[in-house]
Each structure stands twice: as C-alpha cells, then as structure tokens.
Amino acid sequence: MTAPASTVRKKPRVDRAARRAEYVGVAARVFLDKGLHAATMRDIADAAGAAKVLFYRLFPSREALVEAVFERVAQAIDDAFDSPWEGYGSMVRKVLETARQDPAPFLVVFKNCRASMPEWEAGMRSLLARTSMPLFTPAPDAPAGAEARAEKAAGALFGLFLDSMVTWLEDRDGLTDEERIRWWGRIVRENRAAGREAFRLD
C-alpha cells in the first residue's frame, strides 16, 4: 500500500546552474592550490564533498571543467566592459570588484594564460583588445592601415593588466584598491595618448 500523496516526500529540486557555478569555484581553488595541470577530478570532487560522477554529469571531461573556469573570468570581463563607462580605470575597477568576491578563478586564469595555456592567452588577448578598441578608433583621415595598427595599440597593456590583477588580488603592492584604480586610470589615459600618436591613428 502506498502512502497518501500528501505524505510522500519529494526530493528537492537541484539548481543545476547553481551547482555548476559552485563546482567551478571549487575547481578553481583546487587548481590554484595543486596546480592547473596536476589537480585531478578526484581532487576536485573530494574538495567539494561530492561524488566524482556528479562532476561528470555537469562537465563531460576535466578539460570542460578547466574551460568553465576560463569562461567565468571571460564573462566577468565582458560584463564589466559592457557596463557604462565612468572614467579611466572604471572598467578595471568592475573586474577587480567581481574578482574580489571569488579570486581563485581569476588567479588561475591570469597566472596560467601566458605560461601554459596558449588558448587562454589567445582568448584573453582577443577579449582585452576588443574592450580597449574604443580608445583607439582611428580618425577618418588616419593614414592607410590604421585599423590593423589600432588592434596592436589596443593590446599594448595586456601583460601589465594580467600582472597587476594578480598583484592586486594577492595584495602584494601595499596599495589600496582606490590607489590601484587611480594609478591604472592614469596609465590607460597616457597609453591612449601615446598609442594614438605612435600608431598614427589621428
């Protein structure tokens, strides 16, 4: 005899997106601790207190989980640069504010994208160059080839951005976030002026 419908306990629905986001955060912390290439799915499952099979339901491979960490960082940067401009340094401020909430994915990506993940480097270079392009839009009467030169100018601060974000997230420079953003804003403003001149965009 079955229990009346009113007394049957239903399993709570799993918020798949929330669980996926949680596992990406856990994975990033394990990658940061054990090394991006050394950490295993077992390490990550153990850190999350979950069965490894649950990870494979959300991520068909370890590579898919690694890529999800990169996608989290790329999306945060995209979101920051899609928001209204509030002055030099404002977009990087938004990236930093997001990264402060969960630094591990950002540290994993920024520390590894040049050293051992060429596909991450290519993706991050493309993303940051795209977000910087409005600063280097060629003037209508700029010399021929200005679009190609503008792309080069837009990518000039790539390495400094990565190194600065790592330093800031690890609090290794003795500055406050306000001081960091003011410094970054001045660099971007001066870089724009110098870049436009050097790459003949006006």
**68-91, pLDDT tens digit by residue?**
999 999 999 999 888 888 999 999
Is the pLDDT reported for residue 4 higher than 80?
A: no
Q: Using the CB atoms, write b or e for 13-26: b if 16+ within 10 Å.
A: eeeeeebbeebbbb
Q: Which of 94-98, 127-131, 140-144, 149-153 has the lowest mean pLDDT?
A: 127-131
For 70-198, which CATH class? mainly alpha
Contact call for residues 153 and 104 (beta carbons, < 8 A)? no
Q: Where are the domains of the chain?
A: 70-198
Task: Record the pTM.
Answer: 0.87
Query: Which pLDDT score is estimated for 162?
Result: 95
Nearest C-alpha neighbor of 197 from the set 121, 143, 129:
143
Angle at 59 between CA 169 and CA 36, to 5 degrees: 40
